[in-house]
Amino acid sequence: MKSFDEKVFLDIVSSVLKTDPSKPGLRMGQTAGWDSVAHLDLIFQLERAFDANFDLEKVAELDSVESLRFELKRILGP
């Protein structure tokens, strides 16, 4: 696993969602372009970039940029 890198994280979010990832409140279903297909692409891209694996049971709960960041940091550890 790689360590968390904010720039890489934000670049992936920006690339997949085609929006400024620093906008507050970006959420699946409330952000244009963030549908279920984009969500799975986002998860896949993050897993690949950080050599990490999200818990499949939690993937649907990770519906905001903040929750994705928090969970990815938790997976990667200190």
Three-class SS string for 1-39? CCCCCHHHHHHHHHHHHCCCCCCCCCECCCCCCCCHHHH
Using an 8 Å Cβ cutoff, are 4 and 73 in contact? yes
Instruction: Supply the pTM of this predicted model.
Output: 0.92
CATH number of the CATH domain containing 19: 1.10.1200.10
Please state, in angstroms and rounded to a whole number, the distance separating the CA atoms of residues 21 and 10: 6
Q: What is the domain count for the chain? A: 1
What is the pLDDT at residue 78? 73
CA atoms within 13 A on the CB side of 45: 17
What is the pLDDT at residue 66? 95
What is the pLDDT at residue 23? 85
How do the pLDDT tens digits run along the chain, 78 residues long?
Answer: 799 999 999 999 999 999 998 888 899 999 999 999 999 999 999 999 999 999 999 999 999 999 999 999 999 987
Name the residue range of residue 34's domain: 6-76
